[in-house]
Structures are given as C-alpha cells and as structure tokens.
C-alpha cells in the first residue's frame, strides 16, 4: 500500500515517446509512479530506464492491452488493490491503426484504444481519485481533432473510415470527454484537462496509411522530440494551481480554443452516454 505522504501517479502508454518522458518527469518530481504498458518486456525495460535516470526506487509497472475492455477492468482492479490513493492519472496511451480493425469487444480499434479505454479507466478510478483530493486527470488529445465531426450512431463502427479520420475523431472524443468529465467534477477535489502536445516525432504516425505514413516520415526531422512533447502533460500534472485549467484544452501551457465541434456540450453528453453503454457502465 501507499506510504504516508506519497503521491501516486499513473501514466498509460508509458513505455515510449511522450508517455515515457512524462513518466520520467513525474519520477523526478518524487511521485510514486505506475507505468502502464502492453508488452511485459518493453514495460519492464522502460521502468528500469526511468528508475535509473530519475534515481527513484518507487517506479512500478502495470499491464493492460487497451484493445480489451476486460483488460482495462483488470488494470483498474489491480491499481485499486495496490494503491489506497491515486493523485494523478495521465491518459496518454494511443494509436493510429493502419487498417480497419475491430477491438476485442467489436469496436473500431482507434476509437476503442484512444477513447473507450481511457473513458472506462478514468471512471473506474474516479472514486479513488476523489478520495485522494486534490487529484488530477490529464488526457493527451491533439490538434488532429480539427475538422472532424462525430456521427454518434456509428461512432464505434464508422462507414467512412480512414486511418487519419479515425484518429482525428478519437482525439475529438478526448476533448469532449474532458469537458463532460469536468462538468461532473468538483475542481476543488479533482481537476480534468486535456492537451495538444505539439507536433512530436514519435512512432505513432509510422502506422498510419501509406500516404500519411510517407508524409509523417518526411516531416519527422522537423518535429519536436518526445521529451519536449511531454512538457505540457507535465505542466498540467504539476502546476501549483490546476483549477484554472479545469475542463480546458491546453497548448504550450496555455488554454486554447479547440474546434467548434469540441465545444458542443450536447454532443459531449450524448458521447458520454453512448460510451457508457458501449463499455457496459
């Protein structure tokens, strides 16, 4: 169980890229850290690196494949059993599927991993976060949401699927979810915010469609590195007073205006209800 005075942070997708450097920054801040990954060997290798670079002896791992809602539930059960407080949840895990695939539960894979999994995990951990107040929830969204709209009746199996449209819609869901979550939270207990990390040279674009993948590889030398990409996540995780950012979309440590579609609270509430139905909440 958690030692007296310890603050506990959970970072999903922590084995590489932005998630790895977010985890490293939090370990350097002295937090007890749980790095969530999918592959046991990669996750343990990342844990050792974070422990070595931070000098922290309080770095742990947890495993879950976010393409499975049952795995997300098992993850939540394990986290709740091992930690009597949770001060910070960073919903960082994400992907771009290069081809149309369904998750274990029969939902389009990018939507399932990028939205449904963090939606479910956040809700399963929410009571523990409230009990640990003041606590924070930080979700990594993206400017890739701009220009996309949701057709809620087919959100889990869109007919007009492409790798980038699926990714963009999932990031739109991240912002709508954050805003809907904030309406359900007391900012003095738990704050929720989301962010655009910048154009970051991670491996995520390497798995998009052929044309997008070529563009990504050509652009990569001009993008910021994942260490800089983690800066806004770390800012929201550690800023002295997070309440001004509650429910906000943040770029470069400042509140920013997302696409008008992300500000439609009616759609946000409908997405919340549909997501709850899809995950069996």
pLDDT value at residue 49:
98
For the chain, the farthest-separated pair of C-alpha atoms sits apart, in whole angstroms, at 52
Nearest to 152 by CA among 23, 273, 57, 2: 273
Residue 47 resides in a domain: yes
Residue 206 resides in a domain: no
DSSP letter, residue 115 = I
Residue 209 resides in a domain: no
Residue 105 resides in a domain: yes
Say yes or no to pLDDT of 204 above 70: no
Question: What is the CATH classification number for the domain harbouring 167?
Answer: 3.40.50.720
Say yes or no to pLDDT of 152 above 80: yes
Read off the tokens for 103. Answer: 């998750």
What ranges in 15-82 are assigned the alpha helix state H?
Answer: 17-28, 40-54, 69-82
Residue 202 resides in a domain: no
For the residues 173-180, what does the mean pLDDT come to?
98
Contacts of residue 239, Cβ cutoff 8 Å, sequence gap at least 6? 245
Total domain count, the chain: 1
Residue 54 resides in a domain: yes
Measured in degrees and rounded to the nearest 5, phi and psi for residue 277 equal -65, -45
pLDDT value at residue 200:
54
Average pLDDT over all residues of the chain = 92
- The tens digit of pLDDT for each residue in 255-268 reads 999 999 999 999 99
Residue 74 resides in a domain: yes
pLDDT value at residue 225:
77
CA torsion angle 240 245 250 252 (round to 10): -30
Residue 203 resides in a domain: no
Task: Give residue 216's pLDDT band: very low, low, confident or very high (50, 70, 90).
Answer: very low
Say yes or no to pLDDT of 226 above 70: yes
Measured in degrees and rounded to the nearest 5, phi and psi for residue 259 equal -55, 150
Range 58-91 burial, b when 16+ CB lie within 10 A, else e? bbbbbbbbbbbbebbbebbeebeeebebbbbbbb
By annotation, the residues acting in catalysis are 167
The domain in which residue 152 lies consists of 8-197+230-279
């Amino acid at each position: 169980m958690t030692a007296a005075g310890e603050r506990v942070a959970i970072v999903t997708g922590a084995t590489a890229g932005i998630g790895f450097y977010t985890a490293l920054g939090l370990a350097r801040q002295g937090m007890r850290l749980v790095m969530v990954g999918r592959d046991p060997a990669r996750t343990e290798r990342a844990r050792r690196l974070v422990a070595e670079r931070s000098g922290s002896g309080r770095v742990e791992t947890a495993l879950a494949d976010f393409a499975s809602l049952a795995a997300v539930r098992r993850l939540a059960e394990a986290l709740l059993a091992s930690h009597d407080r949770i001060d910070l949840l960073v919903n960082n895990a994400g992907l771009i599927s290069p081809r149309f695939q369904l998750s274990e539960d029969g939902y389009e894979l990018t939507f399932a991993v990028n939205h449904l999994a963090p939606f479910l995990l956040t809700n399963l951990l929410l009571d523990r976060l409230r009990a640990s107040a003041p606590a924070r929830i930080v979700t990594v969204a993206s400017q890739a949401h701009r220009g996309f709209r949701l057709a809620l009746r087919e959100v889990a199996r869109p007919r007009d699927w492409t790798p980038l449209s699926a990714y963009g819609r999932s990031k739109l869901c991240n912002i709508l979810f954050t805003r809907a979550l904030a309406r359900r939270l007391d900012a003095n207990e738990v704050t929720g915010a989301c962010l655009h990390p910048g154009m970051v040279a991670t491996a995520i674009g390497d798995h998009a469609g052929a044309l997008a993948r070529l563009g990504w590889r050509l652009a990569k030398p001009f993008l910021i590195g994942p260490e800089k990409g983690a800066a806004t996540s770390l800012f929201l995780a550690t800023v002295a007073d997070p309440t001004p950012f509650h429910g906000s979309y943040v770029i470069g440590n400042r509140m920013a205006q997302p696409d008008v579609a992300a500000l439609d609270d009616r759609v946000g509430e409908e997405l919340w209800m549909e997501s709850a139905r899809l995950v069996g909440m």
